[in-house]
Amino acid sequence: MAGLTLVVLMAVLGYGEPLIERYVTHFSYEEQHPEFALQPPGTQDISRDYSSFDGEGSHFDALDRNGDGFIGGDRELRDLYWIDRFFMFLFDDYDGVLPLIPSASAPKAVLKPIVAADNRISFDEFPVGFRHLNAQFSAEFFDHSADRFALAVQQDTSRLEGLVEERFRALGLRRADVFSRIDRDDDKNLTQDEVNEYRRCFRPFEKGAEAVATMDVDGDGRIARHEFLGAPELHTFFLGTDHLGRDVLTRLVYGARLSITIALLATAVSFFIGVTWGAIAGYYGGRVDNIMMRTVDVMYGLPFLFIVVLLMVVFGRSTINLFIALGAVQWLTMSRVVRGQIITLKEREFVEAAEVMGVSRMRIVFRHLLPNTVGPVIVYSTLMVPAIILEEAFLSFLGLGVQPPHASWGLMITEGVQVMETAGWLLLYPSIFLGLTLFSMNMVGDGIRDALDPQLERD
Amino acid sequence: MWGAPMIAIIARRLFSALVVVFCVFTISFLIMRSAPGSPFDADKALPAAVVANQAVVTGMAEPISGAHTGMVSEVRVEKNDSVRAGQVLWVLEIHGESVPINAEEDFEVFRVVAKPGDRLAAGQAALYRKTGFFRQYITSLLSYAHFDFGTTFDSQGQRTVLENIKETLPVSAELGCYALFIALLVGVTAGMFAGWKHNTILDHTVMSFSMLGISIPSIVLGPVLIFVFIIWLQWLPAHGGWESGLWTGWGQKILPSLTLGLAYAGVFARLTRGGMLDVVRQDFIRTARAKGLSNGTIIWRHAFRGAIVPSVTFLGPAVAHLLVGSVVVETVFNVPGISKYFVESALNRDYPMVMGVVVLYSTLLVLFNLLVDFAYAFLDPRVILD
């Protein structure tokens, strides 16, 4: 019973994937957050594809830098862009690991080798000016700022340096000020979460004018106070992120949908071939039966996974080919089961009656005989679904199944194996999902067999 | 039982096994050759003569030559051209006289090796034609009949398929044997006790574990075992172990064997338990009990033979699955077994290697099924082979 619940749960999860993506995990399965690659469960970030806003009006003042009651205008947007960029470099690349460009005006304390990368920034590590930041950022910022000044100023390097430094402070990035505002718990250390929390209201402005357009209702190119929706909300990566910073939970659920779909379609393919084949062989008997069943015998001798591998290699690794290939090699047992049933059924009176009444042979097979074989066929089909999920996982593991960026459990396990020493959750969760699903599907299959087959002893 | 009819049965079975292998050969040949892409696509850097030579060795191309010696003055066809019968292929200059060489039949040009200005001896190949599909098929079938499996493309004809197989098959076979041993030892023992102590805690525990064993795929079990025993507990060597792709010492052998074996232990446990349940209800067991025999004697001397019959039936498919399943385990544990030729060669369009592995697998499969059928008849004399 628990098994059935779990199977249903997986199916619901899988097929509700678009809704789950939208409302539960808030991340889409292919959305990448490179700066959050391989982060453990519980890490938070702003979702790009499904952003939502907290409706907190107080953020407006931080964003309206010239105090005119509107967010907008070239200058303001550019300022917001650079603030966002500063925070991006501050945490994602800073933490003393990257080389700093020494500056004459910098106090020696900042330049000394900073404590090892502990993923926190202490006050000493916090940059005094833009020059103490990551080399890439300071170069970018310098070039950008220098353009704003007259040519005469641009040639005077020391004056220019001073002006750029001034602009950096004017952006509100003064050391003590910013530090105390970000450091919400007052422990004199900035953590990733604190930076994210502070940073999030600036985040939309990395897209510049596009950020304005999303909130600008009246179309005047500015965000007025009443149009402001608040800062984007942070969403949690409940099961961590993978090597591209994608949400593992979303991908698992997406994988559930793909795996179950492939399994169902492949089962349908093999069901169709197997039932037809077995029914015709069983009903017609004699030479037809002999030839058809010999073919099945021969195909039993084929190393079937090998044939699937060959088919996948030869006809391209698409998802459609995958389930056709899997289904095409799985119908053998089904046809034997059906044939056995048909042979015992066709001696029964109702078939004779139908024959006497002049019903066509095809009609007898498909209308009178096949409905009576439903029991064993259902049992066999339920046991085939987990078998196919397993094979799909094998193939994906060998790189022949589902192809990236799509997610399947087998593929995720493969990716997890490569980083299992540092990021165990990438192996753990897909394994649990796959193992549990197969376990419960097998249980359900067994249960149905026991229920439908009264001759079988219920041990 | 072992008289003349038995020999006839064996002969008939062997014949049908041969038919199966033949079918496998044909089907894989068809699939491989209908694939888009050719093994020679990537060989841009190699001279045409070298590529053509390889193609000839593997029966994919044939040389075309003229009957006269002379200087090539002009070549009128290019790689991949379709040539009609009677079309001029190249022109020879013999003692100041131009002699055109015509095509005798329709064909497709594989590679052209002669250049204007070359001296061409009589019978020396000027170009190579693609061999027709059917012709290729017959050629390879004949060479297979002579146990000549050809040379691999990947090694540019330096290594034969047989050499590759000889090098890697023992490793895979060893892995398979250990796995089968573990599966039988654990599975049959557990199943015997579960069946004997029917409907007790022991029974339910064994059955739950066996279901777990069946459900957890090797791509999950393998990495988990690596994680637990190598990375976490560090009981087994990591370096020089599974990362290096070596196959020496039990430190490297135990985890792959366990991974491969445990899944089948689950199946064997279920089958043995079922067989045991049938056997213990029978009269001869009651008789044995009545005689006052110890439980051990009854289980191992009387019930055992009947209880393992279902497991023996499953041995054939199990061996086949162990062979195929080992592909995944060998990939997970980086075992230098035959599986590396399984996917890689197919991807590289290394036709001879793929065909060699497919035919080897199916032959083994058929042989094991055959052996199992005979073992079955031996265990249960009521079974009549047909």
How does pLDDT run across B42-79, given as a tens digit for each residue? 555 667 777 777 777 667 777 887 777 888 888 887 77
- Which of the residue ranges A147-156, B298-307, B357-366 would you say has the lowest mean pLDDT? A147-156
Q: How many CB atoms lie within 10 A of CB A23?
A: 11
Tokens, residue A134: 């990551």
A456 touches chain B (CB under 8 A): no
Q: Choose the mutation target among A388, A397, A403, A437 for the interface with B, i.e. most B CBs under 10 Å.
A: A397
The verdict on a CB contact (< 8 Å) between B320 and A442 is no
Q: Under 8 Å CB-to-CB from B276, ≥6 apart: which residues?
A: B191, B192, B194, B195, B196, B303, B307
Answer whether A4's CB lies under 8 Å from A444's CB.
Answer: yes
Which of A207-211, A440-444, B40-44 reaches the highest mean pLDDT? A440-444
Residues B79, B111 contacting (CB under 8 angstroms):
yes
Residues A314, B32: C-beta atoms closer than 8 Å: yes
Q: Chain B residues with CB inside 8 Å of A301's CB?
A: 17, 20-21, 23-24, 362, 365-366, 369
Summary mean pLDDT of chain B? 79
Q: Which of A297, A307, A431 is facing B224, going by the closest CB pair?
A: A431
CB contact under 8 A, A414 and B219: yes
Asked if residue A438 has pLDDT above 80, the reply is yes
* Inter-chain residue contact A431 with B342, CB threshold 8 Å: no
Chain B interface includes A398 (CB < 8 A): yes
pLDDT-based confidence at A453, cuts 50/70/90? Answer: low
pLDDT greater than 50 at residue A99: no
Asked if A156 and A105 count as a contact pair (C-beta separation under 8 A), the reply is: no
Task: State the pLDDT at residue B185.
Answer: 92
Q: What is the reported pLDDT for B186? A: 92
How do residues A12-60 score in pLDDT, each as one tens digit?
Answer: 777 777 777 777 777 777 777 766 667 777 777 777 666 667 666 667 7
Cross-chain CB nearest to B361 (options A303, A400, A414): A303
pLDDT tens figures, B279-326: 888 888 888 888 888 888 888 888 888 888 788 877 776 776 676 667
Average pLDDT over residues B95-113: 80
First-to-last alpha carbon distance for chain B, in angstroms, is 12
The whole-angstrom separation of Cα A364 and Cα A351 is: 7
Q: Is A97 on the interface with B (CB under 8 A)?
A: no
CA distances from B129 to B55, B100, B140, B157, B270 (A): 10, 18, 17, 19, 58
Q: What percent of chain A has pLDDT over 70?
A: 73
Instruction: Give the pair of three-digit tokens for residue A113.
Output: 């080798």
Q: Nearest-CA distance from A301 to chain B in Å?
A: 6
- CB-nearest partner of A435 from B198, B216, B227: B216
From chain B, the residues in CB contact with A306 under 8 A are 324, 342, 357-358, 361
Give the number of other Cβ atoms within 10 Å of residue A253's Cβ.
26
What pLDDT score was predicted for residue A171? 76
Q: Which of residues 222-281 of A touch B (CB under 8 A)?
A: none
Contact yes or no for B219 and A421 at CB 8 A? no
* Fold agreement (B48-148, B162-385): no
pLDDT of residue A95 exceeding 50: no
What type of residue is B239? H
B101 strand-pairing partners = B90
Residue A15 burial (10 A CB sphere; 0-12, 13-18, 19+): middle
Backbone angles phi, psi at A381, to 5 degrees: -65, -40
For residue A361, what are its two tokens? Answer: 């042979």
Burial class, A36, CB count within 10 angstroms (exposed 0-12 / middle 13-18 / buried 19+): buried
Helix (H) or strand (E) holding A122: strand A120-122
Report CA Rg, chain B.
Answer: 29
Cβ neighbours of B116 (radius 10 Å): 12
Q: Which pLDDT band, with edges at 50, 70 and 90, does A105 fall under?
A: very low
> pLDDT category, B40, cuts 50, 70, 90?
low
pLDDT of B298 reads 84
- Among A313, A386, A413, beta carbon nearest to B219: A413
Q: Are A234 and A46 a contacting pair, CB within 8 Å?
A: yes
**Separation CA B359–CA B25 (nearest Å):** 6
Residue B324: the pLDDT is 61
Question: Given an 8 Å threshold on Cβ–Cβ distance, is A394 in contact with B328?
Answer: yes
Mean pLDDT, residues A141-159: 73
Contact A439/B277, CB-based, under 8 Å? no
Written as six digits, the tokens of B215 are 């459900």
Residue found under tokens 């202490």 = A122
Classify strands A70-72 and B125-130 as parallel, antiparallel or unpaired.
unpaired
- CA B328 distance to own-chain centroid: 14
- A331 pLDDT band, cuts 50/70/90, is confident
Nearby residues of B95 by Cβ (< 8 Å), 6 or more positions away: none
Structural contact between residues B89 and B65, judged by C-beta atoms closer than 8 angstroms:
no
| Amino acid residing at B11 | A
- pLDDT, tens digit, 9 for 90 and up, residues B114-163: 778 777 777 777 788 877 778 888 888 888 888 777 777 766 667 888 88
Percent of chain B with pLDDT strictly greater than 90: 2
Closest by Cβ to B346, choosing from A310, A390, A443: A310
A107 touches chain B (CB under 8 A): no
CA pair distance B294, B197, nearest whole angstrom: 15
- Distance of CA A216 to CAs A69, A78, B119, Å? 14, 17, 81
Query: With 50 as the cut, is the pLDDT of residue A103 above it?
Result: no
N-to-C CA span, chain A: 17
**Residue of B209, B220, B324 for testing the chain A interface, max A β-carbons within 10 Å:** B220
Higher pLDDT, A141 or B298: B298
Distance from CA of B73 to the nearest CA of A (A): 42
| Digit-coded pLDDT (tens) for A275-322 | 889 888 888 888 888 888 878 877 776 666 667 777 777 777 777 777
Q: Which of A297, A307, A397 sits opposite B219 (nearest CB)?
A: A397
Round to whole Å and give the CA distance between B215 and A156: 73
pLDDT value of position B182: 92
Task: Compare CB distances from A311 to B31, B361, B369 and report the shortest one's residue.
Answer: B31
| Nearest residue on chain B to A442, alpha-carbon basis | B215
Name the residue facing A306 among B19, B277, B358 (closest C-beta): B358
Q: Residue B28 and residue A310: Cβ atoms within 8 Å?
A: yes
Q: Tell if the CB–CB gap between A303 and B324 is shorter than 8 Å.
A: yes
Q: What is the mean pLDDT of residues B196-205?
A: 85
- Pick from B99, B105, B55: which is nearest to B79 by CA? B55
User: Per-residue pLDDT averaged across A172-201, rounded?
Assistant: 74
Most confident of A201-205, A357-361, B148-152, B340-344: A357-361
**Is residue A393's pLDDT more than 60?**
yes
Q: How many CB pairs under 8 A join A and B?
A: 118
The answer to whether residues A129 and A166 touch, using CB atoms and an 8 Å cutoff, is: no
Shortest alpha-carbon distance between residue B215 and chain A (Å): 5
Give the amino acid at B350. D
Asked if B19 and A410 come within 8 Å (Cβ–Cβ), the reply is no
- The alpha carbon of A166 is separated from its chain's Cα centroid by a whole number of angstroms, namely 44
Q: Please tell me the class of the B162-385 domain.
A: mainly alpha
CA distance B335 to B326: 10
Segment holding B92, helix H or strand E: strand B88-94
**If one looks up domain B48-148 in CATH, what number appears?**
2.40.50.100
Burial degree of A151 (CB within 10 A; 0-12, 13-18, 19+)? exposed
Contacts of B267 in chain A (CB under 8 A): none
DSSP H helices in A346-424: 349-356, 361-363, 374-397, 409-418
Asked whether the ipTM of the predicted complex exceeds the cut of 0.85, the reply is: no
Distance (Å, whole) CA B200 – CA B140? 59
Task: Determine the number of helices (DSSP H) and then strands (DSSP E) in chain A.
Answer: 21, 6
pLDDT-derived band at A112 (thresholds 50, 70, 90) equals very low
- Structure tokens that stand for A453 in this block: 């087959």
Closest by CA to B150, choosing from B64, B49, B18, B60, is B60
Domain ranges in chain B? 48-148, 162-385
Average pLDDT over residues A167-185: 75
pLDDT at B39: 63
What's the rounded Cα separation, in Å, for the pair A306 and A304? 5
Tell whether A11 is within 8 A of chain B (Cβ).
no
The number of CA neighbours under 13 Å toward the Cβ of A454 is 0
Mean pLDDT taken over chain A: 74
Nearest to B127 by CA among B137, B136, B118: B118
Q: How far apart are CA B290 and CA B112, in angstroms?
A: 87
Cα A191 to Cα A241: distance, rounded to the nearest angstrom:
18
Residue A456 reports pLDDT greater than 50: no
Q: Please answer whether residues B341 and B303 qualify as being in contact, where contact means their C-beta atoms are separated by less than 8 angstroms.
A: no
- Tens-place pLDDT, residues B202-246: 888 888 888 888 888 888 888 888 888 887 787 777 654 445 556
| Chain B contact set for A418 (CB, 8 A) | none
H or E element that contains B203 = helix B201-215
| 3 state SS of A329 | coil
Q: What mean pLDDT do residues A391-402 have?
A: 81
Helix ranges (H only) for B242-303 are 250-280, 283-290, 295-297
CB distance B347–A457 less than 8 Å? no
Q: Tell me, what's the pLDDT at B383?
A: 58
Sign of CA dihedral A402, A405, A407, A411: positive
Please give the residue of chain A at the shortest CA–CA distance from B370.
A301
- Quote the pLDDT of residue A110: 38
When CB atoms are compared, the residue of B19, B36, B362 closest to A303 is: B362
Q: How far apart are CA B67 and CA B86, in angstroms?
A: 16
What DSSP designation does A129 have? S
Q: Tell me which chain B residues have a C-beta less than 8 angstroms from the C-beta of A442.
A: 211, 214-215
Give the pLDDT band (50/70/90) at residue A100. Answer: very low
More confident residue, A429 or B43: A429
User: What proportion of chain B, given as a percentage, has pLDDT over 70?
Assistant: 87
Residue A432 carries which side chain, given as an amino acid letter? I
| pLDDT given at position B385 | 53
